[in-house]
Amino acid sequence: MDKSLQKKYASELGLNVAKGCIIKPCNGSYDIPKDLTFPCFPKPLISFKGNKQCMKKCNNEKELREAMDKVLMFQKDCPFEIEEFISIEKEYATLGFSDGKSIVLPAMIQLLRDGSGS
């Protein structure tokens, strides 16, 4: 799912969301906003269009460009969301599905370690 939609819905429900901006490269070229603060955390706007190689804490523009360029070598127009970096104490995930009429969320799990691999 598009992370900008996830954040929109979460915000509308009163949940706190990290501040961020969206960068949409064109043919591998992009501009980083001058007012971007560091550290930051880049991620593909739509997960399956990118990969996890760029998802890491970036302390400066050089690190951010290196992270984004790894993804853009394979997917030249992959849009990114660049969020403020927030240290996370606990992370949870919900698993579920929708049949178009109902939504079923049978479980919530605490993630004990970060995801890795594809």
Contacts of 59 (CB under 8 A, 6+ apart): 38, 39
Strands (E), 36-102: 40-44, 80-84, 91-98
Q: Is the separation of the CB atoms in 79 and 49 below 8 Å?
A: yes
Pairwise pLDDT comparison (51 vs 56), residue with the higher score: 56
Cα–Cα distance measured from residue 57 to residue 87, given in angstroms and rounded to the nearest whole number: 10
**Average pLDDT for 102-118:** 80
Q: Is the pLDDT assigned to residue 118 strictly greater than 70?
A: no
Pairwise pLDDT comparison (53 vs 75), residue with the higher score: 75
Contacts of 109 (CB under 8 A, 6+ apart): 92, 93, 94, 95
Confidence class of residue 91 from pLDDT cuts 50, 70 and 90? confident
Classify 72 as helix, strand or coil: helix
Percent of the chain with pLDDT over 70: 96
